[in-house]
Amino acid sequence: MEKLLDKFLRYVAVETTSDPESETQPSAMREFDLLKMLQKELQDLGIKADLDEYGYVMATIPSNVDKEIPAIGFIAHVDTSPDASGKDIKPQIIENYGGGDILLNAEKELYLKVSEFPEMQQYVGKTIITTDGTTLLGADDKGGVAAIMYAAQYIMEHPEFKHGEIKIGFTPDEEIGRGVAKFDVKKFGAKYAYTIDGGEIGELEYENFNAASAKIHVQGSNIHPGYGKDKMVNSMLIAMELNAMLPVEQRPAFTQGYEGFFHLTDITGTVEETNMGYIIRDHDRTKFETKKELLTSIVEFINKKYENIVTMELKDQYYNMRQEVEPHYFIVEKAIKAIEMAGVKPKVQPIRGGTDGANLSFMGLPCPNIFAGGHNFHGKWEYVPLESMEKASEVIMNIIKLFAE
């Protein structure tokens, strides 16, 4: 069998950054480079795999048992976050990690520091894969892709492994909230599924944020500053005033667990006009709606004060999948047992984010989320222990075993 590490390194070498400004599906044609690679690898293993125009790879491993077993799906996304460069990734492999800080980039004097990321210490003796300090790594979610592909390879090379029908799905654009916008659940054919898109080893999630995005435009009036009295309206100052009206304690830097937030993701401006982007998150649907109402009321207040100079586009992105998964809680219980069978302690917790599984659950495919092993996603501090990805692959096979019992 090809090593999981070799698969992972091959996948992260392909640039697949999604593009939030694009209107196409997938958002960036470069995503097809990895999708086509995965389709061919599946086909080379003897697995029927299709790739459609929207960037969805769907594959099926037929059942090899006589009894009726529900079809189980495993899904991962191929795109990486636009928050950091995903081009020319140069992974560093630290075998038998001895503890302590890891040098990422000598020229920039960048270290992955235990003082900042103390969870590193739990991986002493493991093989840790890091960035070189100039890009993200792509373990989100190529760690999940590699874990699924490694499991698929094992199953195809070991016909004695008993299983029901297995569905495999790879999606684009998860990082920009459009991962399953055109996903055909009926065509996929799974009764239940799991996204392999979580963080550190042991994580299992079946609840996530309710999510919305807001695009705000402030139209100012630029007058020569020497003659601006009672005439100039500085859009940047209005934007700052608007942001200051949001509760400080509800920013990401001050929240954890089930606490939601307002997050200013981007701002560009001049005196004449300023554009701001926000994301709004909360696990509790009532609190989520209250947050949207608060932002709307602030915009209305600013418009009354400055005579309608602010416009806002507010859109819901996804909802908490808990209400759709809990009626099928046995699939969570099977995942917990599968993690325990792998010798790992389950960490059942809410996702402080979202996955394709959230929207899929509302589309009729209950879909909890399982760890892929990575840490510090979306930036240069990202890393993943090899053994965590291997355990994720083992959990996939354990879930398949449990459904086949």
Tokens read off for 240:
């700052």
Ramachandran region of residue 167, left (φ > 0), alpha (ψ -120 to 50) or beta?
A: beta
Active site residue 259: no
Q: Which among 174, 282, 324, 356 is annotated as catalytic? A: 174
Sequence-ordered list of residues with C-beta below 8 angstroms from that of 95, at least 6 positions apart, any chain: 127
Q: Which among 19, 79, 141, 207 is annotated as catalytic? A: 79
Distance of CA 171 to the CA centre of its chain: 11
Q: What is the DSSP string of 311-343?
A: EEEEEEEE--THHHHGGGTHHHHHHHHHHHHTT
Q: At what angle do helices 4-12 and 31-44 cross, to 10 degrees?
A: 150
Tell me phi and psi for residue 197, to 5 degrees. Answer: -150, 20
Contact (Cβ atoms closer than 8 angstroms) between residue 371 and residue 199: yes
Please choose, from the candidates 362, 33, 317, the residue with its C-alpha nearest in 3D space to the C-alpha of residue 178: 317
Give the pairing of strands 72-77 and 192-198. parallel
**What's the order of all strands across the beta sheet hosting 210-219?**
261-269, 273-282, 210-219, 310-318
Active site residue 174: yes
What percent of the chain is helix, strand and coil (3-state, nearest 5)?
Answer: 35, 25, 40
Report, as residue numbers or ranges, the catalytic residues.
79, 174
